[in-house]
Amino acid sequence: MTTIFNWINNQPAHSVSTRRNDVTNPAKGEVIRDVVLSNTDDVNAAVAAAQAAFPAWRDTPPLRRARIMMKFRELLELNRDKLAALITEEHGKTFDDAQGSVTRGLEVVEFAQGIAHMLKGEIAENVGTGVDSHSLNQPLGVCAGITPFNFPAMVPLWMFPMAIACGNTFVLKPSEKVPSCSMLLAQLAKEAGLPDGVLNIVNGDKEVVDALLSHDDVKAVSFVGSTPIAKYIYQTAAEHGKRVQALGGAKNHAVVMPDCDLDFTINALMGAAYGSAGERCMAISVAVAVGDVADALVSKLAEKAQALKINNGMVAGTEMGPVISAIHREKILGYINQGEQEGATLVVDGRGLSVTGHEKGFFVGGTLFDHVTPDMTIYKEEIFGPVLCVVRVESLEEAIALINKNMYANGTAVFTSNGAVARRFENAIEVGMVGVNVPIPVPISFFSFGGWRNSLFGDQHIYGPEAIRFYTRSKVITRRWPESGMAHANSFVMPTLG
């Protein structure tokens, strides 16, 4: 069996650790390789390589960094199908969905290609007599990224291209469930011309995470994952004096108004709720039916959910693949059981699904609940599976109030044909990313991605303009060139420049 180790100084790096984690094909329920669970010594080696590479990389002109990003982007395009196949093999999502996720990561690399322009500071001439001021945006040093299992290529590409383009070096800790994509990304970055030590990968679990969070030479940490872990990452890294952006969980609502295009809305909700088996932080897990649209909405959703094409993600025409692991499948089934026990109406039951030829796979069928109330567990907790809950309300204002009370605030959407309704929703909703007739409003790369409340810990969102602010620090320089013969006098008061 192949073992995946680490990537340090632009080459595979073995570990003295004897601990391993099985990497499983979730459609087949079979172990296909394993990955090393590294130790603190491995982290120290990776950080040391990144620290050694930092001075030269920091001093590399941004335009040269941009040219490496351009080549990296070309290589991502050429290897998109190879990356997507690895994603489908280790995560389970459909090949088409995996291709789309690679493209969304590639878009961030395209944004990073403009780094030479985006790093420009500001200048103010003559702020005082003969005095000028200007600002610089300078890199931090070694940055770290801790990424989740559900987007093995996209989320790493949200992090390290921006950090590296800004002049930092990087240590990536991918999910031990899906390690192969990150290793291929590192190889492509090397082929693009990235110098030794600029991008490093340490595979592992909590031991690696804790070592990164406490390491003196790591200046910033980016994280995407569940809210409890995001909170832990934020608190621990901040206690060690690091910048932190920690993106947590979600319970995304879609408000369905009576005046919406119902067929369009149904199709949008199907993809948003059941795409990637619901294992997306931007998945719609709650449909808020306003007024008399509820019965028709539930009826049409049920018909579509029962007809979902569920199979190995590499099979053409598959709409939904398996969930990531047997443990996660059991967790999802437990939520379905609990929803039924707490009184929600189980309209479509995804339990007991078996896929021919893949009987050992980790499959859960599309599940639909109606008459869900805010006090139920399936409403309050992030299920992270193919389970859609329908909550019935009487008005737009009631829907807005419901969403604004939720502990999560990652994404939301409204489906309507009324511009006034949309405008009211846009302005009143307290959520970081909002869609109008767009079910998964993930911003394009030249905006930034991030939620509010318990969906984000830290001040800056990920990728886009906020990534520039996160991965650099501003320095303001005020200077004067005294003329020859100018009188100089001691001054013991706060200086003014007028």
CA–CA gap between residue 83 and residue 149 (Å, rounded)? 14
The answer to whether 386 and 350 are in contact (CB under 8 A) is yes
Enumerate residues 6+ apart whose C-beta is below 8 A from 134: 121, 122, 123, 124, 476, 477
The dihedrals phi and psi of 113, each to the nearest 5 degrees, come to: -65, -20
Nearest to 282 by CA among 326, 248, 323, 321: 248
Structure token pair of residue 432: 């970081």
CA–CA gap between residue 253 and residue 400 (Å, rounded)? 10
CA–CA gap between residue 334 and residue 434 (Å, rounded)? 30
CA–CA gap between residue 64 and residue 196 (Å, rounded)? 15
From 143, 181, 260, 281, the catalytic residue: 281
Q: Is 281 considered catalytic here? A: yes
Neighbouring C-alpha atoms within 13 Å toward the C-beta of 33: 14
Alpha helices in 215-257 (DSSP H): 227-239
Element (H, E) at 288: strand 284-290
CA–CA gap between residue 102 and residue 88 (Å, rounded)? 12
Q: How many C-beta neighbours within 10 Å does residue 485 have? A: 5
The answer to whether 402 and 349 are in contact (CB under 8 A) is no
CA–CA gap between residue 153 and residue 80 (Å, rounded)? 10
Element (H, E) at 143: strand 142-146
- Residue 138 identity: Q
Q: Residues with catalytic annotation?
A: 281
